[in-house]
Amino acid sequence: MLRPQDSATRERKNLDGVWDFRLDTGAVGRDERWFAAPLDDARPMAVPASFNDLVTDSKTREFFGDIWYQRTVRVPRGWAGERILVHLESATHRATVWVDDVEVVSHEGGYLPFEADVTDHVTAGSEFRLTVCVNNTLSFRSIPPGVIEDTPAGRTQLYWHDFFNYAGLHRSVWLSAVPADRVDDVTVVTGFADDARTTGTVDVTVATTGDGGDVELVLRDPAGRTTAMATAPVTAGPTRLEVPDVHPWGIGDGYLYDLEVRLLGEGGDLLDSSHLKVGVRTFEVDGTRLLLNGEPVHLTGFGMHEDHVTVGKKHDPALMIRDFELLRWIGANSFRTSHYPYSEDVLDHADAAGVLVIDETPAVGLNMGLGGGIFGGQGYTTFSPETIGDETREVHAQVIRDLVARDKNHPSVVIWSIANEPESETQGAEDYFRPLFDVAREADPTRPVGFVNVMLAPHGQCRVTQFADLVMLNRYYGWYVHTGDLAGAERAMREELGLWAGDGKPVLMTEYGADTYPGLHQLPARPWSEEYQTELLDMHHRVFDDIDAIVGEQMWNFADFATTSGIMRVGGNKKGAFTRDREPKAVAHLLRHRWTAGRDQ
Known catalytic residues are 421, 511
3-state secondary structure of 86: strand
Binding ligand BDP (rule: CB under 6 A), the pick from 350, 573, 577, 578 is: 573
Binding ligand BDP (rule: CB under 6 A), the pick from 165, 288, 420, 529 is: 420
Least separation in angstroms between residue 4's CB and ligand BDP is 32
Which letter does DSSP use for residue 77 in this model? G
Torsion of CA 412, 416, 418, 424, to 10 degrees: -120
DSSP of 583-600: -B-HHHHHHHHHHTTTS-
Least separation in angstroms between residue 356's CB and ligand BDP is 19
Least separation in angstroms between residue 116's CB and ligand BDP is 33
By CB under 6 A, residue 541 contacts ligand BDP = no
Render the burial of 25-38: b for 16+ CB within 10 Å, e for the rest: eeeebeeeebbeee
For residues 497-516, which are near ligand BDP according to CB under 6 A? 511
Using only the alpha carbons of the chain, give its radius of gyration: 24
Rounded Cα distance between 349 and 357, Å, is 11
By CB under 6 A, residue 421 contacts ligand BDP = yes
**Closer to ligand BDP by Cβ: residue 534 or 554:** 554
For residues 141-200, which are near ligand BDP according to CB under 6 A? 162
By CB under 6 A, residue 575 contacts ligand BDP = yes
Strands (E), 437-503: 449-453, 471-474
Q: Do 197 and 210 contact (CB within 8 A), yes or no?
A: no
By CB under 6 A, residue 474 contacts ligand BDP = yes
Rounded Cα distance between 184 and 275, Å, is 12
Identify any residues that bridge with 300 across adjacent strands, giving them in sequence order.
Answer: 553
Tell me the helices (H) and strands (E) count for the chain, helix number first. 8, 30
By CB under 6 A, residue 554 contacts ligand BDP = no
Nearest residue to ligand BDP on Cβ basis: 162
Which letter does DSSP use for residue 2 in this model? P
**Closer to ligand BDP by Cβ: residue 248 or 303:** 303
By CB under 6 A, residue 564 contacts ligand BDP = no
Residue length, the chain? 601
Using CB under 6 A as the criterion, what x/- string covers residues 334-353 for binding ligand BDP?
-----x--------------
Cα angle vertex 49, ends 45, 53, to 5°?
80
By CB under 6 A, residue 96 contacts ligand BDP = no
By CB under 6 A, residue 424 contacts ligand BDP = no
Least separation in angstroms between residue 304's CB and ligand BDP is 11
Rounded Cα distance between 136 and 168, Å, is 8
Least separation in angstroms between residue 575's CB and ligand BDP is 5
How many residues bind to ligand BDP according to rule CB under 6 A? Answer: 9
Least separation in angstroms between residue 415's CB and ligand BDP is 16
Q: Which residues bind ligand BDP (CB under 6 A)?
A: 162, 339, 420-421, 474, 511, 556, 573, 575
